[in-house]
Amino acid sequence: SSQNLSEEFAEAARQLKKEAPRIQFGKIDVTHQHDLRKEFKIQAFPTVKFFVNGSREDPIDCKGVRKASAFITWVKRRTGPSTVLINSTDQAEAIIKADDLAVIGFFRELHNDSVEVFCETARDVPEMPFGMTASEDVCTNYGIQRNSLVVFKKGKPVHNEVLEDGRQNKLGLTRLIKTFTLDLVTEYNIETSVKIFDVPVENHILLFTPMNSETFSEIYENYKSAAAEFRGKILFVLVDTEEARNGRVFEYFRVRDIDVPAVRILNLTSDARYKMPADEVTVENLKAFCQSYLSGKAKQHLSSEEIPEDWDKMPVKVLVGKNFNSIIF
């Protein structure tokens, strides 16, 4: 909520006052400041913007940051180095073991496009520590090829992304790394919903199924297996159909009890919804569905009630989604 974020923001301001007195924090209630709201195109609340070198042109958006510690890291990485330079295996171990998650860049040399993209990505992911190294000893110790970005979870490498071809897609890397703040498959509930929408992946796939059914474990394993392949591109969400508080989600996707297990894809930007054509929740069907969606071949799912039998009887015809196109066009 805005109140919660406001408190975390104030806490970050208090802590940074001692460490970095040149960085000023301020807050504005734009309900009374219409000119400022218009000038800075404020549409959602709360919005945090960072103004650099006294200029009001092109402030940097600070998105998805909710905790004081992340605010502090975000600001520090914008005003100083965004990654720690690692020269020894001990130093690498210290970073990898200090937090649940850590990202290390292993490079041939520390001056190329890949390094630049890595440092830019670090600025946008304040939730975890970033380190980089060009030390041969460190690379050999972890058995990692140079020019790789590696995500460590609880001290173990869980993802290796090769940074070969010069300038990578920074947004793609940011999305990929942020997904590690969630499980491979995230169960939808009140607590996780905020986290799900904070990860900047606009494609979500949802599996609607009762979690207490006999077939659940098999379906879940298949879903998890497909999730690994599309990490960073599609966010895999699980919705328990036995949980009464999820009722609004079923309504939104028009999923009925007789439809489950059901699989849908949602594009958050366009609000377009897609229904998996196959009924069986197998790894093959899930992968085929995700691939057809990403390549733009999947058909949008336009929910519609059945055509009433007497739709044609009266001078004013009754239209529903299913007969709208054929009658009107």
Return contacts of 276-283, CB within 8 angstroms, 24+ apart. Answer: 281/207, 281/209, 281/219, 281/222, 281/223, 282/222, 283/222, 283/225, 283/226
**Tens-digit pLDDT profile for residues 158-202:** 999 998 765 568 888 999 999 999 999 999 998 888 889 888 899
Evaluate whether 317 touches 311 at the Cβ level (below 8 Å): yes
Domains and CATH numbers, the chain: 1-79 (3.40.30.10), 84-179 (3.40.30.10), 182-295 (3.40.30.10), 303-328 (no CATH)
- Give dist(CA 211, CA 240) in Å, integer: 6
Closest CA to 247 of 189, 191, 182, 303: 189
Residue 291 has pLDDT above 90, yes or no: yes
**Tens-digit pLDDT profile for residues 145-161:** 888 999 999 999 999 99
**Tens-digit pLDDT profile for residues 309-319:** 887 888 888 77
Please tell me which residue, 323 or 83, carries the higher pLDDT value.
83
**Tens-digit pLDDT profile for residues 64-105:** 888 899 999 999 999 999 999 999 999 999 999 999 999 999
